[in-house]
Structure 1
Amino acid sequence: MEHLPQQYRHLFPTLQMHTMLASCSQSALAEPVSRAIQDYHDSLLYMGTNWKEAIEKTEFARNEFAKLIGAEPDEVAIVPSVSDALVSVASSLTAFGKKHVVYTDMDFPAVPHVWQAHSDYTVSVIPSIIGVMPLEQYETHISDETVLTCVPHVHYRDGYVQDIKAIAEISQRKGSLLFVDAYQSAGHIPIDVKEWGVDMLAAGTRKYLLGIPGVAFLYVRKELADALKPKASAWFGRENGFDGAYAKGARRFQTGTPAFISVYAAAAALSLLNHIGVSHIRDHVKTICADAVQYAAEKGLQLAAAQGGGQPGMVAIRDERASETAALLKKKKVICAPRDNVIRLAPHFYNTKEEMRHAIDEIAAKTIHK
């Protein structure tokens, strides 16, 4: 899939000067996305108002995200962030009568933050085992009293990929709903919420979805959404915006006016991703990551990712001074994403094998001279 960088690199001006390998934190900005942001600005600057156009753009973005994950548009809510999505979900579960929630120690910290703020739930943490999460852990920790199981599709720290379809089968059998955080997977790993049996899934746009902060998407299975009454819901979650009736489907999880500038960016970004095809992106990213893993080992670097998950879309390298190393790399115009004692190299379809090797060479050189 080496043709992908050749075909699309020209859309990312920053790549002329920088090696951008931080898609797990912030992807490079594409010219179509930049133009969309400018379009929003210009529409206000020269037209004075753009409400109708912004609403149309919002619906376009909703449709594009639905296409990306195999959902229907009415199963997608537009929210400010994945954290807001989970807050809204947490406010909707009282009708089930069950009070037990589980999440994993691989979840992003925002997930436990949400549940720690809800004292009316009993919360349990599913522990990983030496960096992996065997399915047996879900069998053990999800009970008949569990109302919701929260899992990350991809571990934010090292790229460990979970088998969501298998987890969904366990969750369903136990009578628990399943919420999937797909922030680290949407955009470079194909997702099919119907095939996998997912109840809820959320993803923001600033990482692999090529957008900017300010907007995220929440999928809620149609039959489930209509049975829920989220307390975190406002006029964009109502039937006509002004009366008290909940909107149909996942839209009822919406609150106030979206950050339209971020919606414009998301619409352009999602359109580009759907045009390329996430399966093609997956194949390319897997190929250059597999090469980088081997090359890093040859350079004597220690990898952080445990064995047992799917092929990760990032290369995580152990470094006790990861932030310091990342700062040094930035001076060399190599942009990566440190996290704790790990340097994350997270490529996208616009990156090349040579860029990954160049970053590894720089990391190895800094490590040797420390």
Structure 2
Amino acid sequence: MSTVTTTAAAEPLLRRGLTSARLPKWAPPATAVLSVALGCGIGAGAGLKSHLQWGLISATLFLVISYGLAAKVEGRRQAKDRLATSVIWVAFVLAVVPLASLTIYTIQQGAGVVNGNFLSHSMKNVISAGPGGGIYHALIGTLEQVGLATAIAAPIGLLTAVYLVEYGRGRLAKVVTFFVDVMTGVPSIVAGLFILSLWNIVLGFAYSGFSGSLALSILMMPVVVRSTEEMLKLVPNELREASYALGVPKWKTILRIVIPTAIGGITTGVMLAVARITGETAPVMMLVFGADFINNDPFNGPQQSLPLYIWQQYALVNNDFGYARAWGAALVLIAFVMGLNLIARGIARWRSPKAGH
């Protein structure tokens, strides 16, 4: 009887201990606001001119106050959990703030320049030190060079990934995997030097947009291989086995079952690889040379590209007109890369498996 009474008395105490002494839901946002206010006050009072220092002080105060409040009200165990959550939020903010600042500043600097005239005219017969001019020739060059690089790298990367996942066994597969890993870390300037030595000097081809595309394809290929390889590994083996059980050859199973199942992730990987090479400057500077006129033929003569155009306007022109054109081109380049990422996300969501199918 006494045991039953003790257990019955302990249950309300246990329930009360689990449900009481909790911080309200508005406590973390309020703590963040208080920390920012205190951090700004301390930074201003100490004469710190950098807002980055103010932000670091605010982040430190947020962590300390969050842990102190939770330890006082909820206990040390719950305080450690809230501290870990606070660290994650601070890391997220520290990662997002530079990206948001860069985007906002680029929009502020370049929005006043980007218009129909800027997008539809080149720099031919335009004095670099004066107003006017546009990026049409650079936009055409970037689209053609990136398009050729994609046409070269995407099929090779896809076939390499298919070999590694479906056929790769033994020493050759290990060697291919090793070189793919090495190529992932190759600097862009090295890829440009390789194409310059082989394609232009040894084989004797002239500088052109296609030369730049060859270097960009070297940078793009390992990204395509790695992303495609991971997507193919996610395809369930049951699909392959069911196809084999029906007497379908392996090559046709790969072509009709495996690749269509993973096509959403493969396309996403290719689009991200395209976004990765779009902003490369060094290979284009070495192999394409740049031009102030419109050249629609990527196989003959120098071409312009957006990254090279930005560098030339900012570093060589070196006046307010050049700076304005550089920021406008940077805004267009960021919008292009963001568009590619949005397209990749849309394709991934569209081709992702749906529940009930």
TM range (shorter): under 0.3
Q: Which has the higher contact order (CA 8 A, sep 6+)?
A: 1
TM-score normalized by the length of structure 2: 0.22
Query: Which structure's residues are more often helix, by fraction?
Result: 2
**Bigger radius of gyration:** 2
Query: Which structure's residues are more often strand, by fraction?
Result: 1
